[in-house]
Structure 1
């Protein structure tokens, strides 16, 4: 199916109408498509071409027989029809952001910003609303900072449970707000706000990574890196670099992933004795070596990860809060995933199965991801029935999460089933896939 085609902006009168804004607020795409046809003269066949859909699907949506729920499809519609992201509760879309040349050409000169304080968290978002919010709120206080930290903790919990893709607008909004507060705060609060902004930028990068929007993720990871560098927080820099390493592995750039993992390890060593952090960083390196099918280097990195974790036992209170997710269960399952990436399915399967058995029921995204890897190891060993059963478990778990990263893995798994298309387990899996897409 052809991808979305270029399209001019929608009529300003349509965008300003109450009916349109209400339809966008409710993500009522039946009304949105009908209004576009009536007010912009864009007919269903053209809507389909712009949004990368079939005309029949557009017709079903307009008739109210189908709905749009997946964030990646909603973003595709926003981009194809040029619906401003904020109207649909999304972050600013790439086409809303002026190019650097246009910004340099038209933007008035102003005082330079501090080296590591970004002017905005969302490139293309104006400052007026944030400034008004600050004027309304008054002086930044410790209680404000405490409330914002609580929000970040809540975001991470929700990301763990349901995936990060749907959290992006809220996280980016909070990042913009904290960035504005940094300018109004005194020195004592300013440092804490910059640390909070670094954490929000890393969280935004992670949410975009989970949504498989890698270029945007990289922008936010880079912002987090700059903020933590400005604070001379080497341990948090290692944290951000580990995320960038994992993304590079996903993007197929394993050599770069190894370099990032090693740089993260250097930063962590410079910060002091943190074996739990080092354990996670060695595992990131193992993933990248596995992607290169370098068995010797992968096994060595896994061994270093285990040794570091053994040193960390009983010292959890010395570790930063953001590393506490990397517990014994995570070490076991990540070891299994490294073996699976390496192609050593027989060693990988019992580890991933044990990790999945131990994993808390509320961590839906992690359970879905690990069920996929279990299915992968079973398929590698020719156990089609168990592989499809594990993949169905992953598929069922995706009903409660919004993670294009997990969805993409399951689509890849489906492609690998092509040689067995006539087999009963595969037919059963495909039936469940169709049910999940309705």
Structure 2
């Protein structure tokens, strides 16, 4: 039987072009679609039909607006355009195994791939293999050996910690709907080692520390995917495990996650938990950790409408970032920097309905934010849109909301649309404004 030949299959010479390979590696499908039409004369309507994407969205992507970050959609595009899995960081596709491609020009040679590109490719491959149900210990033979012989060497916790750090980077570009089962599988695998293996007390405590990190990451992905009960359970497990391992900073961060979740339903409980998080981590925690915990404390105060305490907590966070107490920054807090603090500052002033303070901060920092971080950027834009509405700038709010909708399309996270829902309801009061009517119509798609 002849294998199905996709009418949108990209020719080998196009796959070998540097610009196309760079676009594929970056998951920049707008450039991929544009080159497919320009070089291979594959129409956007044909791409849309084969990739199960609306034709107008294909054109929008080709014009450089929006991103595709859903694993299912990426896999669909790979199969429709016959893009070899390794170029995207996927495991070999079924059609590749049945009909091995002969794209010699598409294979990397010599030093064509930098160390960073190699790392990124390995990262994506690990993720998509795991998502497809591959064994979670396949990239860590030492752990597999430890499981089979019930003996865990002292090097395993650090190997697991490094693996956890690599997988954590997936949260930069993918939503919790895509990453939750990967992170949960890592957590469960480490838990099984602790339950079944034998090790020294020092190794046990190190494993518990890694387990706490993994529980937090899985909890965050669950929260992002709308699995709030799972998130709460994982945060609580992380807190208990961190205490058992003697990791005060990790224990504090687990509480901060719980506070972030609780404040939406109980302002008082959220604030109290956030205060406890700061106290638990203590003054000797790394500067980035203290900044992270205090900005989350500021958020709980902002949600409750307490402007004075919000500003005080933000100032403490900023002071922490300016300090250096010699304690190394853990990887789970490495993303906390001045841009992150500015984002949180803008969010807090938006919640406090102080647009004159929120808008300049959010506009400045979002101008530097790359679209590859589609989930986060769409979320932050929703706060900017809210502040524009509070200031009476309806057309500008509509423009920002439209951009947020564009970025959030296809992102496996419930939060962007949940955040945009009240903004769209407020815009509904101005439906007679043409710019607003256009955005409201787009939101229905």
Q: TM-score, normalised by structure 2?
A: 0.63
Residue matched to 2:203: 189
Unpaired runs of 5+ residues, structure 1, are 1-64, 72-131
Residue matched to 1:297: 309
Residue matched to 1:214: 228
- Using the alignment, how far apart are the partners of 2:285 and 2:155 within structure 1? 32
- Using the alignment, how far apart are the partners of 2:192 and 2:396 within structure 1? 52
1:280 and 2:266 aligned: no
1:258 and 2:271 aligned: yes
Offset of 1:247 from its aligned partner? Answer: 1.2
SS in 2 for 1:392: helix
SS in 1 for 2:265: coil
Residue matched to 2:86: none
Moved over 4 A (4+): 132-139, 141-147
Residue matched to 2:101: none
User: Pick from 405, 426, 439: which aligns with 1:429?
Assistant: 439
Q: Output aligned runs, 1:32-431, within 5 Å.
A: 139-141=151-153, 145=157, 147-183=159-195, 184-187=197-200, 188-249=202-263, 251-269=264-282, 272-312=284-324, 318-431=328-441
- Using the alignment, how far apart are the partners of 2:438 and 2:145 within structure 1? 53
Offset of 1:261 from its aligned partner? Answer: 1.2
- Using the alignment, how far apart are the partners of 1:317 and 1:363 within structure 2? 29
- Using the alignment, how far apart are the partners of 2:359 and 2:396 within structure 1? 11
Unpaired runs of 5+ residues, structure 2, are 1-51, 55-68, 72-143
- Using the alignment, how far apart are the partners of 1:135 and 1:374 within structure 2? 49
- Using the alignment, how far apart are the partners of 1:426 and 1:141 within structure 2? 61
- Using the alignment, how far apart are the partners of 2:306 and 2:158 within structure 1? 45
CA gap of 1:262–1:198, structure 2 versus 1, over 3 A, is same
Ranked by relative contact order (alpha carbons within 8 Å, sequence separation 6 or more), the top structure is: 2
Conservation of the 8 A alpha-carbon contact between 2:70 and 2:174: no
Residue matched to 1:121: none
Alignment length, in residue pairs?
308
SS in 2 for 1:420: coil
Residue matched to 2:90: none
Conservation of the 8 A alpha-carbon contact between 2:177 and 2:222: yes
